[in-house]
């Protein structure tokens, strides 16, 4: 058997389109909440593949589901259905508000489907011009042309004009601002229950309740983007359950596959029929491999043990971070839900989030940013306490560099 091609980090610059700026090391294997690079250096993983690796790395539940399905059937195309995808659809509809599911491969695709469905519902309503979409500043919904336009971060969309029109952005958590723009021509409001990329900002409950009332008043779909918050991340199966506000459409991805690419749009029998054969589709969405893994991961997470464990780990993290912050006085606020945690830098350290995550990497800790002023943690939902302790110790060494 031939040896694999030898590669180094510098080869990224040689061969890859430069839309990412990856770290200067290459992870090669993982187990639980730890990974190792080409030099066999160990890292504690507080990043979780950006809230994807819900069970950590190489968890037996996911590995077994993947390997078992890999010996049976990989792909058949959308001219046929398959057993794993039907089982997964049953799991999702039995455990959420939804009646119907559309499967795809990513969060962006799920949001694209949701926005297209909303436009179709608006068209079918017979109300002239009912195509407006209301979204929120600093939101992130994906990188397709439609979803990047709905996202409220111009830095991601400004180079790709002309953008899809009919999208309005207002301040997040500002119900009065939303009231000023939602009207009879609005077909949808899309919102994250917790803004992830925008800084780990939880929605106020009255804000989400108010959006629900406005959507009911004007016949608009309320879309919850739960790509980052879904599948146990906040301590509930989906974040809408924390608020008691039920959307018309929900998008999910990331943790759903535990590291295997999969996404889904969930909706109800009221709205699903507006999509008919040929109005939307996907080649790979709902393939047997992805569906088998997602079904196993979803079943494992959707238990009181795991979901209550997320809440316990949230408090454990907060206690450790507050103790650390009492010593270094770096963070102005520590916020979030479950194991989606954002540490907001004090004004004197503004813009230093990336430096902190770089130093953390040098100390053997993987962490994320959520804008220039927020350090973000999205670890495995089942990360052991001893790994949290070790990760915090490594973060402490990184923060010591900030103080120098």
Domain boundary among 280, 301, 322: 301
Establish if 145 belongs to a structural domain.
yes
- CATH of residue 95's domain is 3.40.640.10
Domain identity same for 292 and 313 = no
Residue 101 and residue 187 in one domain: yes
Q: Is 87 labelled a binding residue?
A: no
Q: Among the three residues 301, 319, 351, which one is the final residue of a domain in this structure? A: 301
Q: How many domains does the chain have?
A: 2
Q: State residue 403's pLDDT score.
A: 73
Burial of 77 (C-beta count, 10 Å sphere; 0-12/13-18/19+): exposed
Mean pLDDT of the chain: 97
Is there a single domain that holds both residue 328 and residue 277?
Answer: no
Give yes or no: residues 190 and 222 share one domain: yes
Shortest CA distance to 329 belongs to which of 313, 315, 314, 343?
343
Does some domain include residue 65? no
pLDDT of residue 404: 67
Give the mean model confidence (pLDDT) for residues 149-172: 95
Do residues 295 and 334 both lie within one domain? no
Question: Same domain, yes or no, for 166 and 230?
Answer: yes
Q: Which of 275, 301, 327 is the last residue of a domain?
A: 301
Statement to judge: residues 125 and 175 lie in one domain: yes
4, part of any domain: no
How many other CB atoms sit within 10 Å of the CB of residue 220?
27
pTM: 0.97
pLDDT reading at 22 higher than 70: yes
pLDDT digits (tens, 9 = 90+) for 118-130: 999 999 999 999 9
Which CATH number do you get for residue 321?
3.90.1150.10
Helix or strand holding residue 102 (H, E): strand 100-104
Residue 5 lies in a domain: no
CB 145 within 8 Å of CB 259: no
Phi and psi at residue 103, in whole multiples of 5°? -100, 145
For residue 90, the enclosing domain spans 73-301
Residue 64 in domain: no
232 is in an annotated binding site: no
Q: What's the whole-number mean pLDDT along residues 309-314?
A: 99
Same-domain pairing of 314 and 276:
no
Give the rounded percent of residues in the chain with a pLDDT score beyond 90.
Answer: 98
Q: Sorting pLDDT into bands at 50, 70 and 90, what band is 4?
A: confident
Residue 250 φ/ψ region, left for φ over 0, alpha for ψ in the -120 to 50 degree band, beta for the rest: beta
Read off the pLDDT of residues 25-71 as tens digits, 9 standing for 90 and up.
999 999 999 999 999 999 999 999 999 999 999 999 999 999 999 99
326 and 245 within one domain = no
Residue 402 is predicted with a pLDDT of: 87
Residue 268, annotated as binding a ligand = no
Query: In terms of domains, do 14 and 79 share one?
Result: no
pLDDT tens sequence across 73-120: 999 999 999 999 999 999 999 999 999 999 999 999 999 999 999 999
- 140 labelled ligand-binding: yes
Distance separating alpha carbons of residues 133 and 110, to the nearest angstrom: 16
Average pLDDT over residues 136-148: 97
Residue 177 lies in a domain: yes
Cβ of 284: how many Cβ atoms within 10 Å?
16
Helix (H, G, I), strand (E, B) or coil at 84: helix
3-state helix, strand, coil in the chain (%, to 5): 40, 20, 40
> Quick check: is 144 in a domain?
yes
Active site (catalytic) residues = 140, 225, 254
Q: Which residues contact 77 (CB under 8 A, 6 or more apart)?
A: 283
Q: How confident is the model at residue 1 (pLDDT cuts 50, 70, 90)?
A: low
Residues 360, 395 within the same domain: yes
CA distance 400 to 331: 13
Q: Provide DSSP, 195-211.
A: ETTTTSEEPPHHHHHHH
Helix (H) or strand (E) holding 305, with range, is helix 304-328
Beta strands in 327-402 (DSSP E): 331-337, 340-345, 365-366, 368-369, 374-377
| Model pLDDT for residues 185-234, shown as the tens digit of each residue | 999 999 999 999 999 999 999 999 999 999 999 999 999 999 999 999 99
**108 assigned binding-site residue:** yes
- Residue 272's pLDDT is 98
55 and 103 in a single domain? The answer is no
DSSP-H helix ranges across 10-59: 10-15, 48-51
The answer to whether the annotation marks 226 as part of a ligand binding site is yes
Closest Cα partner for 118 from 267, 283, 286?
267
Task: Give the containing element (helix H, strand E) for 288.
Answer: helix 288-301
Q: 245-287: per-residue pLDDT in tens?
A: 999 999 999 999 999 999 999 999 999 999 999 999 999 999 9
Closest to 114 (Cα-Cα) out of 229, 251, 282, 279: 251
């Amino acid at each position: 058997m031939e040896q694999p091609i030898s590669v180094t980090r510098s080869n990224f610059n040689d061969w890859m389109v430069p839309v990412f700026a990856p770290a200067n090391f290459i992870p090669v294997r993982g187990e639980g909440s730890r990974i190792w690079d080409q030099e066999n250096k160990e890292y504690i993983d507080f990043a979780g593949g950006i809230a994807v690796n819900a069970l950590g790395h190489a968890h037996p539940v996911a590995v077994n589901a993947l390997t078992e399905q890999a010996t049976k059937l990989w792909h058949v195309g959308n001219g046929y259905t398959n057993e794993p995808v039907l089982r997964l659809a049953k799991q999702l509809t039995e455990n959420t508000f939804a009646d119907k599911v559309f499967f795809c491969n990513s969060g962006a695709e799920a949001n694209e489907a949701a926005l297209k469905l909303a436009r179709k519902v608006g068209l079918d309503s017979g109300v002239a011009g009912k195509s407006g979409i209301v979204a929120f500043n600093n939101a992130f919904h994906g990188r397709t042309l439609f979803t990047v336009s709905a996202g409220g971060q111009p830095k991601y969309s400004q180079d790709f004009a002309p953008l899809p029109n009919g999208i309005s952005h207002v301040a997040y958590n500002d119900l009065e601002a939303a009231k000023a723009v939602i009207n009879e021509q609005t077909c949808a409001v899309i919102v994250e229950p917790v803004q992830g990329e925008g800084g780990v900002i939880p929605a106020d409950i009255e804000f989400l309740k108010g959006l629900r009332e406005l959507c009911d008043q004007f016949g608009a779909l309320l879309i919850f983007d739960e790509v980052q918050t879904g599948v146990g991340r906040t301590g509930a199966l989906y974040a809408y359950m924390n608020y008691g506000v039920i959307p018309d459409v929900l998008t999910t991805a990331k943790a759903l596959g535990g590291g295997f690419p999969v996404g889904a749009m969930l909706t109800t029998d009221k709205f699903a029929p507006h999509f008919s054969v040929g109005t939307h589709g996907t080649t790979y969405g709902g393939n047997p491999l992805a569906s088998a893994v997602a079904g196993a991961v979803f079943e494992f997470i959707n238990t009181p043990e795991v979901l209550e464990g997320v809440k316990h780990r949230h408090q454990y993290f907060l206690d450790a971070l507050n103790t650390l912050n009492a010593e270094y006085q770096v963070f102005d606020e520590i916020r979030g839900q479950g194991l989606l945690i954002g540490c907001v830098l004090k004004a004197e350290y503004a813009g230093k989030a990336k430096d902190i995550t770089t130093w953390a990497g040098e100390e053997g800790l993987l962490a994320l940013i959520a804008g220039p002023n927020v350090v973000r943690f999205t670890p495995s939902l089942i990360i052991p306490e001893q790994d949290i302790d070790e990760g915090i110790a490594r973060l402490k060494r990184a923060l010591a560099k900030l103080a120098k």
